[in-house]
Amino acid sequence: MGYQLSFTQIWANFDKLSGGLLLSLELALISIAIGALIGLVLAIWYVSAGRIGRTLISAYVEFIRNVPLLLLVYLVFYGLPTAVNIAYSAPVSFVATLSLYAGAYLVEVFRSGLDAVPKGLMDAGKAMGLTPWQRLIYVRLPTMTRITLPALSNTFISLFKDTSIASVIAVPELTYGAQWINNKTFRIVEVYAVTTVLYVVTGYVILFGLRLLERRFRVER
Amino acid sequence: MDAVLYSIPYLLDGLGITILVSLIVVALSLIIGVILGVGIIYGPLPLRLLIRLIGDGIRGIPILVLIFLVYYGMPALGLNLSSFWSAVTALTIFKSAHVIEYVRGAVLSIPRGQMEAGMSIGLVFRERLRFVIFPQAVRRFLPPWLNGVTDAVKGSALVSLLGVVDLMHAINQVIGRTYEPLPLYILGALLYFAINYSLSTLSKVLERRYSYIRE
Amino acid sequence: MSATSLLQIDKLNKSFGENQVLTSVDLNVVAGEVVTIIGPSGSGKTTLLRCVNFLETYDGGSIQIDGREVGFTDSVSRKRRGEADLAGMRAETGMVFQSFNLFPHLTAEQNIMLGLRRVRKKPHKEAREIAQHWLARVGLDHKADSLPSELSGGQQQRVGIARAVAMDPKVLLLDEITSALDPELVNEVLDVVRQLAVEGMTMLVVTHEIAFARDASHRIVFMADGSGRE
């Protein structure tokens, strides 16, 4: 089979990939930010919630974790606008979906993070005369943040890969860019080889960057 | 409501395909993953590095990219696979990379002292693997692996993008005819939920049951 | 020396990379003797013990049990023993570990039976009887069907001793067996060891328990920086 590798057309259209990569990172970043907010609020609420509250939160978490992301994306983008009078663009819809997705996973992360704060620190706060609210803000949350940093970075990298699903609703992220070039040039092997390298290398860069951050904030239990 | 009732036979057909795809992927990835997993632990250094490299590469890309890679790439290699088998191949490759990690995690988390205890009573390497390591590794492997099976089921939804008529594709097809997206997406979600939730509950039960193995 | 040594260690050398852990160590243990090695952390005492059943290799010198070199076919050629050979040598010694190392997926009885069945090739019934005998000897016959996770530290360690002794070893190696135990559980374990000593078991013990070393051993060896002094 005479398949000649030729990367020229890939480089000619590289902006589709680089732009897509940037968008993927943006989508992941926004989603983890909102998701972290959701997760944190729900985690704090869970601790003091009654049975109804806990069941609701668990229902949300279990639903999101057991349903394919693709279905969730379709549901939010095509399904919701028919019921609620909302109109949104594909990127907004995707970010909303991915944030809810991230939130479900992060509730668990933050719950165990809050639990993992050494009791001794809370006692020290009490002994100092801090109110429960002050203890939460000044002792528990900062400590919990340092404990959960590894899980957060892993979630971020996961989300970065999950942004590829956005391509199905025509959000111009990295995978969509690859498909675009593929459809235009039919340089299948080349475009996916380059895309693979971009995903893997970016993933590692993020990983190492976050590891450095973690080391700076390491907590001794 | 009529739309929902109308859709049920189609959804069930799609569900059948989803389960078929998931079963094949899980079974194949288990076999491949365990073999390569053992290779990555006990094999010669070059083999270990190779498996490590490829495994990390596969886990570093989105499943969708892998699916497209296989779907579009196979013809370039001269292999002409149907959509179904392209998708199954891609998902199997993806899952195998994870199974390798589960195996590594299971075996490497066994304390070194266990091998030493086995040595001290005079067991040979093969006997140590069989009577000491393997029973413990299996119990450590099962909970995360079962959890991973839910990822295979969720990943199977992507085969719909290649035109394979699984549950996800069936949902979209029916919506195309009835124009009532929301109830159908919710119904589909509940079906996926039913499968995966039972699997993850089973995984939690096993984890609790085998907690003694992690003393 | 009038009696012949059961365990003979001559000019033993061992390094971990740059670090010389054992320097020309000599030690003889006669049948029925209990020798205790004490010394500060890092003095190489555990390493010495682990060389005797070849869990660690040694770079120079010789270790012989009943005249046979452990680990190599002879101390001159330094040709390493094969798998099956080595396993056979290790079956002649029994080791009890600081962290117990009981097999968590097996009951107390099964832990003891594994070696009896697979290494000593005893039939199931006989292995079971021996296991039950030794469980009774360490005071745990009522716990035969318990998993290690259901036993206290002291109980686990007693099973560990039973597992080692049931193999009928020539030498018993005890590696800081009480260091990981809560203080109130230490005595039940030491009582078992004392009893074994009285019955003539040859033992090489590494421990921090000075009182035990004094009344249960025939000899105490002090190790520091990789060499020993009696």
Give me the residue label for tokens 């070696």. C115
Q: What is the CATH number of the domain that holds B69?
A: 1.10.3720.10
Give the three-state DSSP class for B86: helix
| Residue pairs spanning A and B at CB distance below 8 A | 115
Closest C-chain CA to B212: C149
Average pLDDT score over chain B: 91
- The ipTM value here is 0.90
B197 in contact with A, Cβ within 8 Å: yes
Counted domains in chain A: 1
Single-letter amino acid, residue C12: L
In degrees, to the nearest 5, what angle opens at C-alpha C168 toward C-alphas C29 and C159? 105
Q: How close is the nearest chain C Cα to the Cα of B147, in Å?
A: 22
C145 in contact with B, Cβ within 8 Å: no
Q: Is B123 among the domain residues? A: yes
Best mutation site among B109, B120, B136 for testing chain C: the one with the most C CBs within 10 Å?
B120
Nearest to B121 among C55, C91, C104 (CB): C91
Q: Is A63 among the domain residues? A: yes
Range of weakest confidence among A170-184, C74-88, C98-112, C139-153: C74-88
Task: State residue C1's pLDDT score.
Answer: 43
Answer yes or no: do C99 and B120 touch at CB < 8 A: no
Q: How far apart are CA B170 and CA B76, in angstroms?
A: 30
Mean pLDDT in residue range A123-138? 85
Q: Which residues of A touch B202 (CB under 8 A)?
A: none
Q: How does pLDDT run along chain B (215 residues), one tens digit per residue?
A: 677 788 889 999 999 999 999 999 999 999 999 999 988 898 899 999 999 999 999 999 999 999 998 998 888 778 888 999 999 999 999 999 999 999 999 999 999 999 999 999 999 999 999 999 999 999 999 988 998 999 999 999 999 999 999 999 999 999 998 888 999 999 999 999 999 999 999 988 988 888 888 75
Answer yes or no: do B120 and C55 touch at CB < 8 A: yes
Q: Which residues of B touch C88 (CB under 8 A)?
A: 122
Mean pLDDT in residue range A144-165? 92
Counted domains in chain B: 1
Q: What is the CATH number of the domain that holds A140?
A: 1.10.3720.10
A208 in contact with B, Cβ within 8 Å: no
Answer yes or no: do B120 and C104 touch at CB < 8 A: no
Q: How far apart are CA A147 and CA A151, in angstroms?
A: 9
Query: What are the CA-CA distances from residue C192 to residues A217, B214, C17, C125, C165 (Å)?
Result: 49, 28, 38, 25, 11
Residue A190 has pLDDT above 60, yes or no: yes
- Which H, E and C letters describe chain C, residue by residue? CCCCEEEEEEEEEEEECCEEEEEEEEEEEECCCEEEEECCCCCCHHHHHHHHCCCCCCCEEEEEECCEECCECCCCCCCECCHHHHHHHHHCEEEECCCCCCCCCCCHHHHHHHHHHHCCCCCHHHHHHHHHHHHHHCCCHHHCCCCHHHCCHHHHHHHHHHHHHCCCCCEEEEECCCCCCCHHHHHHHHHHHHHHHHCCCCEEEECCCHHHHHHHCCEEEEEECCEEEC
Closest C-chain CA to B215: C149
Nearest to C104 among B122, B125, B215 (CB): B215
Q: What is the pLDDT of residues A42-92, one digit of tens each?
A: 998 998 888 999 999 999 999 999 999 999 999 999 999 888 888 889 999
Task: State residue A139's pLDDT score.
Answer: 84
Range of weakest confidence among A32-36, A69-73, A189-193, C136-140: A189-193
Residue A103 has pLDDT above 90, yes or no: yes
Confidence band for C161, pLDDT divided at 50, 70 and 90: very high
Q: Which residues of B touch A179 (CB under 8 A)?
A: 68
Average pLDDT score over chain C: 91
A12 in contact with B, Cβ within 8 Å: no
Answer yes or no: do B122 and C163 touch at CB < 8 A: no
Q: Which residues of C touch B120 (CB under 8 A)?
A: 53, 55, 90, 93-95, 97, 164
Q: Is A1 among the domain residues? A: no
Answer yes or no: do B171 and A164 touch at CB < 8 A: no
Closest B-chain CA to C149: B212
Q: Is B214 among the domain residues? A: no
Q: Is A28 among the domain residues? A: yes
Is there a contact between C208 and C179 (Cβ–Cβ < 8 Å)?
yes
Domain holding B183, by residue range, is: 2-209
Q: Is B163 among the domain residues? A: yes
Closest A-chain CA to B65: A175
Q: What is the pLDDT of residues B164-205, one digit of tens each?
A: 999 999 999 999 988 889 999 999 999 999 999 999 999 889
Q: Which residues of A touch B61 (CB under 8 A)?
A: 161, 195-196, 199-200
Q: Which residues of C touch B131 (CB under 8 A)?
A: 103, 114, 118
Answer yes or no: do A175 and B62 touch at CB < 8 A: yes
Confidence band for A186, pLDDT divided at 50, 70 and 90: confident
Chains contacting C (3 or more CB pairs within 8 Å): B
Answer yes or no: do B157 and A1 touch at CB < 8 A: no
B61 in contact with A, Cβ within 8 Å: yes
B117 in contact with C, Cβ within 8 Å: yes
Nearest to B60 among A68, A78, A199 (CB): A199
Domain holding A20, by residue range, is: 8-217
